[in-house]
Amino acid sequence: MIDPAVPLDAASLRFSATGAADGPEPHAPVLLALLRYWQSKCHAPKDGMAGRLPARSDLDPLELRSLLPHVYLIDVLPGGVPDRWRFRVRLLGEKHVEVYGPGLVGKVIDDVFPPAVAAEFNRLYAVVVQRRAPVMNHGRVSWLRNKEFLQYEGLHAPLASDGSSIDCIFGAGAFVGMD
């Protein structure tokens, strides 16, 4: 469970803004599989038009069966100010529930994490929206009591129902140090 009394090492949540599409590939096999899956769902450019991002409806749970425990979906909500969004947890795979605990689905990031942690998650997801490409991050889960030893690597990729306006983030996390 998230404990605001535990000292926060917000630096452990920092991420590399190098997109997975044009930067280093993930180390964790589950993240590499997720990246390849997302890339397979991207719509190629044609007739001089830009390529279209995959939509949530392009994702097939049967094709993702082995990845589902690691997967999450985050809704991208308008924040009332240009280039300022709010992010709501839509789906969390079993591995995320093991780390963060139950009851997060349907909640906005700002209501789930301590302010410094929420700010870093919001910044991470905003970069995904702005770049319109996958973003990787890695670090230590230092803000959770009795989970400080966990290391993670994450991959976060944009989805757009209309192929252009990003309305969801599809991602996965690989946690090192879990049983």
Closest listed residue to residue 59, CA positions, set 37, 77, 44: 37
Q: What DSSP character marks residue 104? A: -
Q: Indicate if the alpha-carbon torsion angle 134, 137, 141, 143 is positive or negative.
A: negative
Instruction: Return the pLDDT at 60.
Output: 96
**128 located within any domain:** yes
Closest listed residue to residue 27, CA positions, set 11, 13, 16: 16
Question: What does each of the 179 residues of the chain score in pLDDT, given as a tens digit?
Answer: 333 333 334 444 444 443 444 556 788 999 999 999 999 999 876 555 557 899 999 999 999 999 999 999 999 998 766 678 999 999 999 988 888 888 999 999 999 888 888 888 899 999 999 999 999 888 777 666 676 667 788 999 999 999 999 999 999 988 876 65
Burial of 131 per CB tally in 10 Å (0-12, 13-18, 19+) = middle
**62 located within any domain:** no
Instruction: Return the pLDDT at 96.
Output: 84
- Count of domains observed in the chain: 1
Q: Report H helices in 18-87.
A: 29-41
Cβ–Cβ under 8 Å, residues 33 and 20 = no
**5 located within any domain:** no
pTM (predicted TM-score) = 0.82
**CATH number for position 113:** 3.30.450.20
**20 located within any domain:** no
Give the residue numbers spanning the domain of 80: 67-179
**143 located within any domain:** yes
* Contacts with 20 (C-beta within 8 Å, 6 or more apart), sequence order: 26, 35, 133, 134, 135, 136, 155, 157
